[in-house]
Amino acid sequence: MADPASSHAPKPDGATGVLVLADGTVLWGRGFGAVGTEVGEVCFNTSMTGYQEVMTDPSYAAQIVTFTFPHIGNVGVNEEDLESKVDSAVGCIVRQDVTLASNFRSRGEFDNWLRDHGKIGLAGVDTRALTRRIRVKGAPNAVIAHDPHGNFDIPALVKRAQDWPGLEGMDLAKRVSRQIQEGWEGSVWTLGQGYGRSPRDARPHVVAIDYGAKDNIFRNLVKAGARVTVVPAETTLEKILELAPDGVFLSNGPGDPAATGRYAVPVIKELLERDVPIFGICLGHQMLGLAAGAKTAKMFQGHRGANHPVKRLADDYVEITSMNHGFAVDGDTLPDTVEQTHVSLFDGTNCGISIKGKKAFGVQYHPEASPGPQDSFYLFQKFVGMLK
C-alpha cells in the first residue's frame, strides 16, 4: 500500500478502487459496495462497534468515513440498526476486506448493503497512516471511486476534489431533514422484543426539530417519558407554538452550524424569550450556543468515535461518550449568560452549555449512543423532568 504522503502513486495490479485527495495524494485499494465516484470530506471514526449506525447517521452527510477498527462488516447488517433513511456518509474506507457476516442478528452482507444504498467502499488502505495524516494535516476533501475494471481518470478526480467547496459554509440540514411533521411512536430496542411502542398515557409533549436526527434520540426521549412530535428543520416559530410543546428538542445534523443558523437561530431565540425548555444535541447544541450569543468554528480534525471522555464541570464526573462533529462551540466566545457545563478531556473543547435563568441546555456529544456507551442517558431524564 502506498504511503499517503506520496502523491500520484502508481496503480498496483488488481486495484479497483481509489481515494484521491485534493492535494493530489492517491491511495489505491479494492473497491466494494456501490460502483461510481463520490466527493466529500475524509474523516476517521474510532468506534469498535456500530458501523451500520455510523453509516446511516445523517451527521455524516457529505463525508467519507475511515474506520480505524479493522473488522468492519463482520456482523453483517439488519434493518433494526438503521439510524435514518436519508442522506448520510457517501462512502467508507477500511483496512481489511469485508468478510462474510457472522452474527445471529444479521440479515445481509455489508458489501451488498452499501451497493444497494449507493455508498462506495474502499478496502486495502493503510487506515492508520491515513488517520495520522488527518491528525497532522486536518480533514481533507477527496473523491472516492470504485470501478470493477480499474479505469480511473486521476487528473479529473483530483480536479473534482479541488473544486468541491468543503463543509465550511455548507447548510446540509435542509437536505437530510424530514420534510413533513411526524408523530413519533417507537421506543428503545431490547433483545428478543425489538423496538417498543410509545405508551398512550398522558406525557409531556416534546417538539423535536429535525436537522438530521438519529432515530435513537427520539426513542430515548420516549423512554425518558415524553410524547414526541418531529418537525422539519425549517419549521417556523408559529407552527411550533401551534403544537403546544412542553419543551423543544434540537437534533444533531451535518454541515456548518453558522449556515444552518441563518434560519434556525431566530426561531430558537424566540423560544428562549418565551422560556420554553430546550435541549440540544450536537448540531442542536451548536444552534443553542449561537442563539445565546456564542460563535462556532470548524475543527481541525473533529471528534468521531464512541470512546471520548468528557468532564462534567459541576462535580468533575467523567462520562465516556459517543461523538460525531467537525464543528464546535467556541468556549472563549460564551457570553456571561451562558455556563460551560462539559469539556472534552482530549482537547479541552466545549462539550456542554446551560443558559442561565432558562431551562435550556445542550451537549456536543450523543447521549443516545447507537453506537456507544450509555453513560449519559440521564440527560434525557433531566430534560423530560423539567417538563413535568
**Positions marked active-site:** 282, 366, 368
Buried b (16+ CB within 10 A) or exposed e, 252-288: bbbbbbbbbbeebbebbebbbeeebbbbbbbbbbbbb
Task: Give the long-range contacts of residues 134-137, CB within 8 A, separation 24 or more.
Answer: 134/42, 134/43, 134/44, 134/66, 134/301, 135/301
Distance CA 257, CA 235 (A): 17
Three cell numbers at 207?
A: 417538539
Q: Tell me the three state secondary structure of residue 115.
A: helix
For residue 333, give every residue at least 6 positions away whose Cβ sits within 8 Å of its Cβ, in sequence order, or none.
Answer: 293, 294, 295
Q: Tell me the three state secondary structure of residue 353.
A: strand
- Asked whether the bond before 371 is cis by omega within 30 degrees of 0, the reply is yes
